[in-house]
């Protein structure tokens, strides 16, 4: 779950077979509507920026670390984008993600397909990341 208090929005991820469904609630979870569906057997990790950009990270079937974004409260989502870390396509599973409002950075913790855990930082809302801890 992730909350965007500016928009009174709660994002809830539900597992259903090999899919993860992201629901949006605007009434503290009493009701929710589906806003995104991704094919993954792993986690979907969400982060909300101070600029109302919502990010959903997940691992694709081929191992690619993927990102979907919305800038309009979940009405539309960008096409899936493979996460770029240090100029290369990233693979692995997301562990956690958060925005640092003080520095306007998006922090992503993930585990590579090789089993290494890393932390990467983006200052462009997920377009590119740089490793800050490996």
Domains of the chain: 2-133 (2.120.10.10)
Tokens of 8: 């009174």
The lowest-confidence range among 25-29, 38-42, 81-85, 90-94 is 25-29
Residue 6 has pLDDT above 60, yes or no: no
> Would you put residue 89 in left (φ > 0), alpha (ψ -120 to 50) or beta?
beta
Whole-angstrom distance, CA of residue 129 vs CA of residue 44: 18
Look up tokens 């993600």; give the residue: 97
For 40-129, list the strands marked E by DSSP.
44-48, 54-59, 65-70, 81-82, 84-85, 88-89, 93-100, 105-111, 117-122
Q: Please enumerate, as own/partner, the contacts of 38-42 that have beta carbons within 8 Å and a separation of 24 or more.
A: 38/66, 38/68, 38/80, 42/93, 42/94
Whole-number percent of the chain with pLDDT over 90: 63
**Mean of pLDDT values over 106-126:** 96
DSSP structure class, residue 127: S
* Residue 2 confidence class, pLDDT cut points 50, 70, 90: low
Among 14-23, 94-103, 121-130, top mean pLDDT goes to 121-130
Higher per-residue confidence, 102 vs 118? 118
Local structure of 83: helix, strand or coil? coil
pTM of whole model > 0.95?
Answer: no
Q: What is the pLDDT of residues 10-44, one digit of tens each?
A: 888 999 888 999 998 888 788 999 999 999 978 89
């Amino acid at each position: 779950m992730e909350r965007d208090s500016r928009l009174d929005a709660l994002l809830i991820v539900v597992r259903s077979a090999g899919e993860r469904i992201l629901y949006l609630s605007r009434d503290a979870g009493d009701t929710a509507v589906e806003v995104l569906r991704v094919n993954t057997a792993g986690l979907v990790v969400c982060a909300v920026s101070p600029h109302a950009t919502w990010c959903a990270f997940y691992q694709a079937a081929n191992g690619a670390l993927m990102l979907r974004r919305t800038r309009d409260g979940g009405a539309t989502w960008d096409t899936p984008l493979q996460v770029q870390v240090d100029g290369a396509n990233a693979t692995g599973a997301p562990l956690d993600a958060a925005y640092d409002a003080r520095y306007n950075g998006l922090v992503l913790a993930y585990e590579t397909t090789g089993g290494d855990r890393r932390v990467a930082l983006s200052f462009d809302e997920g377009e590119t990341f740089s490793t800050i801890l490996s």
